[in-house]
Structure 1
């Protein structure tokens, strides 16, 4: 492989399916830090919603646990990809701790309990597919959170606080 070109200009690349892409394609999105509020998620956490894809039951966000704490036991019904941005995080069920830059990949069917022991908590960027089922300390089912739950979480908060709903989050 050769190095990518270094021209500092827009290059018009030939496209065989330009008409189809024009008719059916969806442009990429950009969400700045100011474009999405921190929405409370329990007493010690908040979520900054970044993307909702209803066709694939996929959603993206930054989860912020503000100080040492736990996000209860949950089971993923899809793949989850996370990157630790700040602080540290671990699962009670595993023997590793992720710090800034740590990459976490979770597969469907896994059950675990997310914990941060860091004095400043943790911020995790996540790209999540499928539902997440939450359970109490006795393994009783509590709630399912899927893309529709996350949309409702975001839109309800915006309506309650007079914040315009950002359509750039919907992909």
Structure 2
């Protein structure tokens, strides 16, 4: 027997079997104000785009230049360099506009930017990072809550759910 249903009818039937999920979330990134990175106002700013309430991972646009200092990733990180210019980790490689970088949990490094220029990257972090003090001791831990608190104080969270840490 030939199935006489239209593609639209077939899709509707399949969709009825699928669990209900919220619609896609569209964010006007240009409308989000830049927020200074706590303690590193001279060399880092961000726009937080999303917080995963289950893992506390987060997605941000990060604007940076030389000066952030040593840090340790406590979870893996994915970076898409947006530009302009180049940045690198001493002894690890470099990235420019359009380049992708994957950083493993536990990685420790210092970011350097070309000519001390500002760069921007899309960062998808699976969790927090920890700054390393100049004397080599562990410094502050920066996580999704840290970014959220700073962004909220800067009126830069209107695009996020009222409680971005609530699951369900």
With normalisation by structure 2, the TM-score equals 0.79
Report deviation, 1:73: 0.8
> Alignment length, in residue pairs?
153
Residue in 1 aligned with 2:3? none
Larger radius of gyration: 2
Name whichever structure is richer in strand by fraction: 1
Match among 124, 128, 133 for residue 130 of structure 2: 133
State the distance in 1 between where 2:103 and 2:13 align.
Answer: 36
Residue in 2 aligned with 1:79? 76
**Alignment RMSD:** 2.6
Residue in 1 aligned with 2:58? 59
Q: Deviations for 1:6-62, whole angstroms, at most 9, x for unmatched residues?
A: xxxx8972565736622xx23321111233211112213211111111211110111
- 1:21 aligned counterpart, secondary structure: coil
Q: Moved runs in structure 1, 4+ residues, more than 3 A?
A: 14-20, 168-171
State the distance in 1 between where 2:13 and 2:127 align.
Answer: 33
Q: Unpaired runs of 5+ in structure 1?
A: 1-9
With normalisation by structure 1, the TM-score equals 0.77
Residue in 2 aligned with 1:13? 11
Q: Unpaired runs of 5+ in structure 2?
A: 1-7
